[in-house]
Amino acid sequence: EVEVEVNDSLMRFFDHCAKFVALVEENDAAMCQVNAFKEGPEMREVLEKVARALCLPAEELNADLVQVAFLTCSYELAIKNVTSPWCSLFTEEDAKVLEYLNDLKQYWKRGYGYDINSRSSCILFQDIFQHLDKAVQESKSSKPISSPLIVQVGHAETLQPLLALMGFFRDEEPLLANNYAKQGHRKFRSGRIVPYAANLVFVLYHCDHGNTSREEYQVQMLLNEKPLAFQHSNDTISTYADLKDYYREILENCHFKEECELPQANVTAVDEL
């Protein structure tokens, strides 16, 4: 018997963050890099190639229609293991261009493009550490762990901002409409970070044989069932104390209500972002 609680304010924090909704979600200007890439030379080449294959005038197609065809191909391949006829329209290089288009959107809407994207997720980040703190306190008191397993279910839109808040998959240069060629080896690849059934697991260990008290409780993170190296150490295991120290600013100074307040009316959206 499992009780399920729907908590959209926690797992759909982005819907409840007025600043994000107004300045990113509903603000066309926030996607200027995405829109510029749609009109850029790389997408223009793909569009013209698809138009020729379909015997259509290029002006009858646009980047959104080409992307729909590509997504139809990829969905059928991923879900049904069927090679869709739409796949024949694209080469591997075309797929890389269309992948970059999607990554641009995720970067600017859910990732590092704007601070509010990730800062809005601090309510979930803090909730995770509250559960870990409780388990540590119960363990130190020799009490049974009241919640040995906690499962929270959301979407890619829940997970991507959280990973950005923690600093994972951040490139030295931002993803832009005009630096596609430079970003061939980028870390930020949304299809690998948040694929179907994406999952992030925090595992807390009680280590009886730690050399110091700081080593008694250690943490491992797994992204999509694979150990994830921590930002502060580049190791896949960290003491819980070190992890909390590294993220102290977020844990203590990120306040969802204040972060998500809309700016004053005389501040433009561009200035605020």
Which residue type does 8 have?
D
Domain 8-152+178-260 has CATH 3.40.50.170: no
**Residue whose pair of structure tokens reads 């261009």 in the numeric block:** 97
**Threshold 0.85, pTM exceeds:** yes
pLDDT in tens, the chain (273 residues): 778 899 999 999 999 999 999 999 999 999 999 999 999 999 999 999 999 999 999 999 999 999 999 999 999 999 999 999 999 999 999 999 999 999 999 999 999 999 999 999 999 999 999 999 999 999 999 999 999 999 999 999 999 999 999 999 999 999 999 999 999 999 999 999 999 999 999 999 999 887 788 899 999 999 999 999 999 999 999 999 999 999 999 999 999 999 999 987 655 555 566
What sign has the CA pseudo-torsion 55, 56, 58, 63?
negative
Question: In 3D, which of 55, 57, 61, 47 has the Cα closest to residue 90?
Answer: 47
Q: What are the residue ranges spanned by the domains of the chain?
A: 8-152+178-260
